[in-house]
Amino acid sequence: MDYDKVIRRIYNEVTPFLGKGKVADYIPALAEVNPEQLGIVVETLDLKSFRTGDSEIPFSIQSVSKVFTLAMVISHMGEELWQSVGREPSGNPFNSLVQLEHERGIPRNPFINAGALVITDRLISLYPRPKEAILDFVRSLAGTDDIYYDHRIACSEREHADRNMALAYFMKSFGNIHNDVETLIDVYCHQCAIAMSCADLARSFLMFANRGVNPVTGKRVLTISQSKRIGAVMATCGFYDESGDFAYRVGLPGKSGVGGGIAAYMPGKLSVAVWSPGLNSYGNSLAGIEFLERFTTDIRSSIF
């Protein structure tokens, strides 16, 4: 398959969508990002890379980070983790308090904000220096030390974290948050503010395509079962309230973030990362989803 030819052709097809989406202006630092950008990278398991557009520009990965922290925690806790967070699509906004109250402090899945806070809380309990541990983990997957927190975005998120604070305190009242809430929110805002390029992100997702083994180092990070289960949650819950439509249109497990990034993978074959900051009404990259739908259609391959 000539992936270079495929992604360059589709890049030209989706450029008319640039500027039509809306940046995540509820985080002031993200409101300043130019929406007329599009980066695309495909990485195969033999570490061949195919790139076009703004593929080397670092951006805030936001909720894509939830996949990394979930992998870190599940590798330690295994199935015990699912006593504290569910595995079902939410059907409600990603920062809903109503659903959390109805389900007595147990978040529906690890990719809505409440669920991600539970995961980060457990990570804080597991690692004495959690922010350093997260960066080390992501760097090891991407095969580079040149990945950092964007502290300006982290501070901007922290200044507007009232809803996440409320979610955390509410879950703490049910005993589902174990650590200091201020510390939890600080770590959470930093993990969302990790800056990565499409090249970094695609390389870091190869571990999932390789069923838990990091092809950069040859080291097993997750068991085959753990990798499968995280992939299943990505496929059903990875795109906010658009997860079902993404599965229908694209047919890959993956995760999006309101920074405009999307990372996805095809088991046993490849990973793909797309970045375009303009979002659709669901908070997913408008041009990114258009690209990915065309990509799996053109290469005639998906998980279905």
The answer to whether 7 touches 272, Cβ cutoff 8 Å, is no
* Active-site residue, from 118, 240, 250, 271: 240
Decide: helix, strand or coil at residue 106. coil
With left for phi above 0 and alpha for psi between -120 and 50, is residue 270 left, alpha or beta?
A: beta
- Please report the beta strands in the chain, taking only residues with DSSP state E, as ranges in sequence order: 39-44, 49-53, 59-60, 148-149, 194-196, 254-256, 261-266, 270-275
Could you give phi then psi for residue 257, rounded to 5 degrees? -145, 155
* Active-site residue, from 85, 188, 221, 276: 188
* Active-site residue, from 221, 258, 272, 274: 258
User: How does DSSP assign 161-177, residue by residue?
Assistant: -HHHHHHHHHHHHTT--
Structure tokens at 172: 């703490």
Q: In the annotation, is 173 catalytic? A: no
* Active-site residue, from 55, 63, 197, 227: 63
The answer to whether 99 touches 115, Cβ cutoff 8 Å, is no
Q: Can you say how many angstroms the Cα of residue 113 is from the centroid of all Cα atoms in its chain?
A: 12
Structure tokens at 47: 């570490």
Beta pairing partners, 53: 39
List, in sequence order, the alpha helices (H) in 61-197: 65-77, 98-102, 113-126, 130-142, 151-159, 162-173, 181-192
Complete edge-to-edge strand list for the sheet that includes strand 148-149:
59-60, 194-196, 148-149
Structure tokens at 218: 């040859």
Cα–Cα distance for residue pair 217/222, rounded to 1 Å? 13
Q: In the annotation, is 66 catalytic? A: yes
Cα–Cα distance for residue pair 3/122, rounded to 1 Å? 39
* Active-site residue, from 41, 60, 66, 90: 66
Q: In the annotation, is 63 catalytic? A: yes
Q: In the annotation, is 240 catalytic? A: yes
Among the listed residues 288, 62, 69, 57, the one whose alpha carbon sits nearest the alpha carbon of residue 153 = 62
Catalytic residue ranges: 63, 66, 188, 240, 258
